[in-house]
């Protein structure tokens, strides 16, 4: 798990929307985490953690996979809503596969920003 390194800050409306989408994805299925990403065209993709006997994906991994499956080539920003104070390394790496410097915001289930990660995995 990746520790948060940035202090909480106010988000712009587009990044705040990602937190809202991630919260909704998490709540919809009662998942451990929810995540959302925005691609180069401004399209958003939300997902929740998947835990099956044969498949486990973090919410962020699945949100990035959904974006790529829809044709995204770049991620502008991402958000993860979690009870943890960390962002999983594999999800963070998936964002970095598409964008070296896209911010990844982490928030609590009530939407309070924990921090923002930017930079190499």
> According to the model, what pLDDT value does residue 76 have?
97
Structural domains counted in the chain: 1
* Mean pLDDT, residues 95-101 taken together: 95
Gap between the Cα atoms of 35 and 91, Å rounded = 10
Half-sphere exposure of 14 (CA within 13 A, CB side): 14
CATH number, residue 64? 3.40.140.10
**pLDDT given at position 11:** 83
Tens-digit pLDDT profile for residues 34-64 = 999 999 999 999 999 999 999 999 999 999 9
Domain that holds residue 112: 2-117
Share of the chain above pLDDT 90, in %: 74
């Amino acid at each position: 798990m990746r520790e948060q390194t940035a202090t909480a800050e106010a988000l712009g409306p587009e990044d705040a929307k990602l937190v809202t989408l991630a919260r909704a994805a998490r709540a919809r299925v009662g998942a451990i985490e929810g995540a959302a990403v925005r691609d180069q065209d401004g399209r958003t993709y939300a997902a929740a953690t998947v835990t099956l006997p044969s498949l486990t994906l973090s919410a962020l991994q699945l949100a990035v996979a959904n974006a790529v499956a829809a044709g995204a080539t770049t991620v502008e920003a991402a958000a993860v809503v979690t009870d943890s104070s960390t962002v999983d390394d594999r999800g963070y790496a998936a964002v970095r596969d598409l964008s070296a410097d896209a911010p990844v915001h982490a928030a609590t289930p009530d939407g309070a920003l924990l921090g923002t990660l930017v930079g190499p995995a």
